[in-house]
Structure 1
Amino acid sequence: MSQKVYVVGVGMTPFEKPGRRDWDYPDMVKEAGTQALEDAGIDYSAIEQVFCGYVYGDSTSGQRAAYELGLTGVPIYNVNNNCSTGSTALFMARQLIAGGIIDTALALGFEKMQRGSLKTDGQEDRANPLGRHFETMASQRGFARAPAAPQIFGNAGLEHMERYGTTAEHFAKIAHKNHLHSTNNPRSQFQDEYTLEQILESRPVHHPLTMLQCCPTSDGSAAAVLMSEAKVRELGLQDQAIEIAAMSMTTDMPSSFGKSAIDLVGFEMSQKAARQVYQSAGITPEDVDVIELHDCFSTNELITYEALGLCDLGQAGRLIDEGQVTYGGKWVVNPSGGLISKGHPLGATGLAQCAELTWQLRGQAERRQVDGAEIALQHNLGLGGAAVVTLYRRS
């Protein structure tokens, strides 16, 4: 039987525009990691293994970063799973504790990024890891003169519009919601409120996406300390421990490379992972109170409502029209501001989601607190591909 696993400490730097602050990734990790350790009330010497997630860096950047917290000789793993890197580090840490191998682990995520659109060209002497995705995108709708990431997710939005009558305004309403939520998050890269008209009229990127519906590149770090139930009780941390009740990771299936732009961005991966989590935890989407999901683009948030089972296929637009995904609705989705406003330092994103949901379930989210939150859901997606869905609940 697997052991229960708990989050007992979290930390997070502010997410910032690349180059805005004179710092490097070891500085970021020292800040976020120290916060997580202090939150857990332990020293780095208590950590048995470390899982370091980043996308842009060298082979042992994880060691260089974690060494800022201490030099104890413990195993340090370098993790890269594109945009789902942070939650993959969390997934690995949880597995070792659940399996009884260790009792205490630290998951770190960080990224020091370049300004502008993501570079996805890869190295010229080997296969591009997203090559099959780009080839499939080109076969479906051609290759436009637009950055690859908003193009591939924008195409998914176009397909949803064609299938179900979704409008460009539905996607803009999602961005409006997330920018509004971010005004209550001091760690968010953007903390400005925009009107729906400003969002619709901002610079076009790839229809239906405009600039204010796209996540920015960011610098930042986030961290989480995980413990077994036995260790939580030994240290008397029950009052702050948040259980990871279920967790699932999936990768691409044949549907990803078929004729659907929605499946190309990982719809079935997300759907399968969510179903596995609900089944494992013995709950339904109706039981969830607060959600952090991977809104790299507003189109992906809307599609993911359906993948997570919040509504039937084709009904996601209704959720945003009826206010069901914000304060006062059935779920509060991305109270942090999401990737669109909070920022998206790739390796840190999944752990920042973990931190936000831990604060929500502890009642520590301040102005963005979701009243009575007891069950939280996290969705983190990386093209290439992997989807990680995690369910948390109050201890």
Structure 2
Amino acid sequence: MQKVIVAGVGMIPFSKPGASESYPEMAVKASRMALEDAGIDYGAVAQAYVGYVYGDSTSGQRAVYGLGMTGIPIININNNCSTGSSALYLARQAIESGAADCVLALGFEQMRPGAIGSIFQDRPSPFEPFDELTDELVNKPELPLALRYFGGAGLEHMKRYGTKLSTFAAIRAKASVHAAKNPLALFRREVTVDDVMNDQVLWPGVMTRLMACPPTCGAAAAILVSERFAKTHGLRTDVAIRAQSMTTDYPSTFADGDMMKLVGIDMTRAAAQEVYQAAGVGPEDLDVVELHDCFAHNELITYEGLGLCGEGEAERFVLDGNNTYGGTVVTNPSGGLLSKGHPLGATGLAQCFELTKQLRGDAGDRQVGAARLALQHNLGLGGACVVTLYERA
């Protein structure tokens, strides 16, 4: 089993739909940044795993060919919002198994404005069982599907534990404070809890517009290499993937009548436990976390899923400031999806970019102390959850 080194990372600033370059241009820029960061030429790359959601088959080849046509295997990946980390997962497997010594993991998305939805209307949707249970539990068919799912999960947490709407607003306000120090974040304006509470109401008593991440376009990439390759070529070896797990849905997703389980808390909990067990660490050992905050509600639920706090304790975790600088663990120092944006295929690799910078000590004004252990959580409904633990050598 080869030790997996994150040799290089690259990310372009995310932008609103209609304001970005085309997906091949964005992808090539992010990939070249990762190659330059690693200090190698594209000719050294033996395989490429490329993630995107909204694009025709072999869009990965169309993007990667801009780097050069070297005949290497190029694998296209679509796992909804966890697409980028799924590419990372496969790239890590290739290195760890010895199948390759230098691999590109790339994610990009060229999105349209508005809420996401199904493209193919002439066949069964993978979300049919999600919609059926959501209609039964929350009955809000007029709302976009993602808002129904995650808003419904937040509403369940509110009913079960007494969580206040203002707590979700506090998470969004925290994200804006972090993003103000990130030059790559799309939204860098700081907002207060009152700003979030007084924003446009999307679901009365459950969600305002600022609690939802925006659709965006962008690209991010990582170069993974074996430790042997890094030492042979004089590359840096200071950031490694210590453990990683990928899970899909369990029967409880639909059988338990629980909106939090519908949006993946059981997938999250299982993946996190597998990572902690494999690495011999616990959530108390983490310094920094980038987690999937597609909605402020999911960030709060994920605190409990990752074991950052106990079940039902997420509101206290937020109100005590344990999710930011000076607290227990800094969550989403990049500003997260809420501020940075969420180009589906790129998100998982943008998280990798941020955590690699943090572990190197290169995160500038948003640096989290002398971070040594960093956890990434990327969730896609349908479903797939990838949890990755990085360590600084």
For normalisation by structure 1, the TM-score amounts to 0.98
Shift of 1:124: 2.5
| 1:98 corresponds to | 96
Amino acid at match of 1:263: K
CA distance in 2, matches of 1:30, 1:165: 47
Q: Give, as a single letter, the amino acid of the residue that structure 2 aligns with 1:311.
A: C
- In the alignment, which residue of structure 2 is the partner of 1:6? 5
The amino acid across from 2:234 in the alignment is: G
Whole-angstrom distance in 2 between the partners of 1:209 and 1:68: 42
1:66 is the counterpart of 2:95: no
* SS in structure 2 at match of 1:68: helix
Task: Give the SS at the match of 1:34.
Answer: helix
Q: Per-residue CA shift, 1:55-86, capped at 9, x if unaligned?
A: 00000100000011111000000000000000
- Which amino acid is the alignment partner of residue 9 of structure 2? V
The code of the aligned residue for 2:4 comes to: V
Q: Which runs of 5+ in 1 are unaligned?
A: none
Does the 8 A contact of 1:63 with 1:76 survive in 2? yes
The one-letter code matched in structure 2 to 1:124 is Q
- 1:373 aligned partner: 371
| Paired position in structure 2 for 1:332 | 330
- 1:180 aligned to 177, 180, 198, which one? 177
1:212 deviation in Å?
A: 0.6
Give the number of aligned pairs: 391
Aligned counterpart, 1:271: 269
* Displacement of 1:20: 1.7
Corresponding letter in the other structure for 1:245 = R
List structure 1 runs of 4+ shifted beyond 4 angstroms: none
Match of 2:166 among 151, 165, 169: 169
Distance 2:201 2:108 in 1: 29
AA aligned opposite 2:5: Y
- Is the CA contact 1:244–1:393 (under 8 Å) kept in the aligned structure 2? yes
8 Å Cα contact 1:243/1:392 also seen in 2: yes
Counterpart residue number, 1:159: 156
- Once the two structures are TM-superposed, the CA of residue 205 in structure 1 deviates from its matched residue by 1.4
The match for 1:362 is 360
Q: Deviations over 1:337-379 (max 9, x none)?
A: 0000000000000000000000000000011110110100000
Is the CA contact (8 Å cut-off) linking 1:232 and 1:241 kept in structure 2?
no
1:241 and 1:17 map into 2 onto residues whose CA distance is 34
Q: How far does residue 150 in structure 1 lie from its aligned partner after superposition? A: 1.2
Q: Which residue of 1 aligns with 2:215?
A: 217
Counterpart secondary structure, 2:222: strand
The residue correspondences of 1:178-327 to structure 2 (distance < 5 A) are 178-206=175-203, 207-238=205-236, 240-258=237-255, 259-327=257-325
**Offset of residue 144 of structure 1:** 3.6
Partner of 1:130: 127
Query: Which residue in the other structure is 1:78 paired with?
Result: 76
**Does the 8 Å CA contact 1:107/1:225 hold for their aligned counterparts?**
yes
AA matched with 1:48: A
Which letter does structure 2 place at the counterpart of 1:208? V
Task: Provide the rounded CA distance (Å) in 1 between the counterparts of 2:270 and 2:349.
Answer: 21
Shift of 1:141: 1.8
Structure 2: runs of 5+ lacking an equivalent: none
Name the % identity.
55
Output the amino acid matched with 2:363.
A
3-state DSSP of counterpart to 1:145? coil
For residue 56 of structure 1, what is the aligned residue in structure 2? 54
